[in-house]
Each structure stands twice: as structure tokens, then as C-alpha cells.
Amino acid sequence: MAQTNLTKKVFHGDTSVWIIFLLLCCFSLVEVFSATSTLAYKTSNIWIPIVRHASFLLAGFLMILGMVRIHYRYYSLAILLMPLSILMLVATPIIGVSANDASRWLEIFGVQFQPSEFGKLACIVYVAFLLSKRGKFSEKAIFQWIVVGVGIICFLILLYNFSTAFLLGMVCLLMMFIGQISLVRIGKLLLYLLLGGVVLIAVATIAPRTVEKFLPRLETWSNRLIKHADERGEAEKEQTDKTYVITDENYQVTHAKIAIARGGLFGKMPGRSVQRDFLPQAYSDFIFAIIIEELGVVGGIVVLLLYIMLMIRVGIIARRCEKLFPKYLVIGCGLLIVIQALTNMAVAVNLIPVTGQPLPLISRGGTSTMLTCIYIGIILSVSHFGAGMGPEEEENEEEEEETDTEEYVESSSENPIFAVETIEQTGGQRENEQI
């Protein structure tokens, strides 16, 4: 009984979200420990990679415990990250460093982090805050402010990370759709973006050198799209020639396919993966392929269902919120986590080109792991203060009942006649209510 009460006091917020978070962390510890064999070989120590990852998860867990106790209205202050994120994103191409063979990073006092992650958090809070002010400002003004703010952040991220900018823009569009922004305005925005993309492709075709000065990763994006589109033709050629050549271009995708094929229904069990030694980012971008190889299709489906259940719980929390800001805030955080997870899974099974998006809470990472924990903390805070969900609610009800009982007993012991009268009055009221 004491242990149960302690659990209720520690784990505030929606219980289901807590369970999903802890299960994803368990999957992460097991699979990252298995997938970091190459890093362990380089460091000559099998514990260094997993200890680092476990430290980030532990720090994120402690952060969530603190964030749950903070009222959701204080998270509106994250809007201040908008100008800070803009400054960091502007500085990234100039003074940024390369890490993990992918995006540009910033390094301050020896700590490397991705400014784009802070930009995503700032945009989610920014859009939720503006959508909650529909009664004070016109829909047109809110829409314009969202387009300007989110547009600047997405453009700066686009300079070196197309997938993150696209994902963030899609989440913000979904938030505007859920926030009942006119479909005409959203449709016009999508049309303008489509036309802008067509113009960019045309200019890049005519003068590629000029465009690459402003978008240095444009060639990388186009090559990924072309390679992904040509894979169907390669598959047909493979059926006729009965040969398949692994090249530098299809190296990652091919070994991810091999890992998925080897997994079967129940997998080879954790620690027995072979493709972890061939995939360069087995512990990050392609960790879902390693999960299927070691835990099979069943394990992959379980991980997928955990993210789907998280989105369902986010929807339930949003429906129980009476105020608009926590409603849109929790929806934005949930959409960002789940869409990023689905993107990572789609890359692993070769449904879309390689994006470089990690699997939230499972992939090995620093900035991404901590920011995902922040999203979970915001969701739990909203469920606690905005939706009134979780074990603490039952605890409060029990405390109220105990208090009422104690007061009744004390009054009865002091005045027995008053107790009898109270019982008779209560009984009469109940009879009248039944009638």
C-alpha cells in the first residue's frame, strides 16, 4: 500500500503515457547496447556507448519528473526560443561543426547540439500559443503570424536539413488544420509552397552551381530521390539477371533490407544481429531494421503500436482539456514524436528515401533524446494540470473521502444527537432524490 502511494506521488500525469515512455526506454537500452558493437570495438570498451546513452535517458527521466510538476502555462515562455533559435540557425552554417556524417551542429563549451531541435520546440509552442488566441485576434492575423514565424525557422533549417524542415512544416500545418484555420488559407499556402518547389527545381536544373551556393545539400537531396525512384527498375532488372550489386549508393538501404529479411517473425534475439556490423548508423537512423532483425516482425509491430498508442492517449488528453493552449500544445508535441517515428520506420523498410531522422527515445542520441523527453514532460504536465488525468486524481479523491469521514466521525463523537439527525436528514434527502 505504501509503495502504491509512493508511485502515485512520483508519477504524476497520465499513467498510460508513463508506461509507453518506460517501455520505449527499455527497447532503447536493449537495442542500442546491441547496435553499438562497432563503437564498442573502436573504444575497446563495450560499456562506454551504452553508459552514455543510458545517462541521457536517465537525465531525460529526471527532467520529466520535474516538468510534470510545472504548470503547463509556464511552457508558453518557450516562445522566447524563437529569436534564440533563429540566431543559432543563422550561426550554424558559419561556425557549425559536422557530426555523425549528417547535419550541422553547434558546439558550446565542448557540448554539441542541434539548433534545429530547439527550433522545433519553439515552433510547436509558438503555433499553439497563437491558435489559442482566436478570440482576441482575427484568423487572418493568426495565420499570417504563424506563416512568418514558422516559415523563417523552416527556411533556416532547410539550408542543411530538408527532412527536419519538411517534418516541422507538416506538423505545423496539421496543427493549423486541427485549430480550425480555414482550409482555403491552408490550401493557398500549400499551392504557393508547391509552386516555389517547382521554381527551385527549374532554377537548379538551369543553374545548379548558383543554387548550391545557397543550398549546399541540394545535390544530396536530389540524388536520394533519384536513387529511391530507380530502385523499382533495379528490382525488375534483378529478376531477369539474377544478380544484385551492392554499391556505395545503395549500401545502407540494402543492408537494412537484409536485416529485415533475416528477422523473420520472432527475430534472432537481442545481441545476435549481423547487420549491425555493416550499417553505419545501426544505432541511430536504421535502428528499426536492427529491432526487426533481433526481435522479428512481432517486435517491430510492438514498437509501432507503442507510438500509435501514444498518439491515441495524446488525443484523449487534448479532448479533456478545457483551454485551447494546452490542447494544441499537447497535440503538437504528440504529432512531432509520432510523425518522426513513422518517418524513421518508413526509411528502414525502404518506403521513402533516407532522411536521417532518428527513432524518438530509441535511437542513440543526445539532443534528440533530451528534446523528446521534454515533449513527453509537456504531455504529462498537460494531462496533470489541464486534463486532470493520472493516479494523483484518484489519490485526491481518496483523501477527500477520508477527510469527510474523519470530520463526520469527530462531529458524531462530540454530539451523538447531531449524528442521528444528520443520518436521518441524509436518508431523507436520498429518498427525495430517488423520487
List the grid coordinates of 238. 534483378
The rounded distance, in Å, linking the Cα atoms of 435 and 433 is 5
pLDDT in tens, 285-328: 889 999 999 999 999 999 999 999 999 999 999 999 989 999 99
Q: Taking the CA atoms of the chain, what radius of gyration do you get in angstroms?
A: 26
**CA–CA distance from 305 to each of 36, 338, 355, 413 (Å)?**
25, 11, 22, 56
Q: What is the DSSP string of 279-299?
A: -TTTTTTTHHHHHHHHHHHHH
277, 26 in Cβ contact below 8 A? no
Mean pLDDT of 173-198: 92
Give the model's pLDDT for residue 17.
Answer: 94
Q: What is the DSSP string of 62-77?
A: HHHHHHTTS-GGGGGG
Pairing mode, if any, of strands 104-108 and 111-113? antiparallel
Output 387-391 pairs: Cβ under 8 A, ≥24 positions apart: 387/14, 387/317, 387/320, 387/321, 387/326, 388/320, 389/13, 389/14, 389/15, 389/316, 389/317, 389/320, 390/11, 390/12, 390/13, 390/14, 390/15, 391/7, 391/8, 391/11, 391/12, 391/15
Residue 40: pLDDT over 70:
yes
pLDDT in tens, 124-182: 999 999 999 988 889 999 999 999 999 999 999 888 788 889 999 999 999 999 998 99
Q: What angle do CA 151, 155, 160 make, to 5 degrees?
A: 155
Strand partners of residue 111:
108
Give the model's pLDDT for residue 329.
Answer: 95
Mean pLDDT of 17-30: 94
The rounded distance, in Å, linking the Cα atoms of 197 and 187 is 15
Residue 100: pLDDT over 60:
no
Burial of residue 349, with CB atoms counted within 10 A of its CB: 0-12 exposed, 13-18 middle, 19 or more buried = middle
List the grid coordinates of 338. 509520432
Q: In sequence order, which residues have a C-beta less than 8 Å from that of residue 96 and are 6 or more positions away?
A: 104, 105, 106, 160
Task: Please name the amino acid found at residue 72.
Answer: Y
Strand partners of residue 113:
106
pLDDT in tens, 108-129: 766 777 888 889 999 999 999 9
| Listed range (44-53, 233-242, 282-291) with the worst mean pLDDT | 233-242
The rounded distance, in Å, linking the Cα atoms of 385 and 237 is 59
Task: Please name the amino acid found at residue 53.
Answer: H
Domain definitions of the chain by residue range: 14-389
282, 35 in Cβ contact below 8 A? yes
The rounded distance, in Å, linking the Cα atoms of 38 and 291 is 17
Give the model's pLDDT for residue 183.
Answer: 93
Biggest CA–CA distance in the chain, Å, is: 99
Q: Hey, which of 35-44, 163-172, 391-400, 412-421 has the most confident mean pLDDT? A: 163-172
Mean pLDDT of 183-187: 94
Enter the pTM of the model.
0.81
Give the model's pLDDT for residue 187.
Answer: 94
The SS3 of residue 154 is helix
Percent of the chain exceeding pLDDT 90 equals: 42
| Listed range (62-66, 102-106, 411-415) with the worst mean pLDDT | 411-415
List the grid coordinates of 165. 524542415
Q: Which residue has the cell 532554377?
A: 203
List the grid coordinates of 88. 543559432
DSSP single-letter state for residue 104: E
Q: How would residue 275 be classed by pLDDT, with cut points 50, 70 and 90? A: confident
Give the model's pLDDT for residue 428.
Answer: 46
Mean pLDDT of 29-44: 80
**CA–CA distance from 77 to each of 28, 121, 128, 172 (Å)?**
31, 11, 12, 18
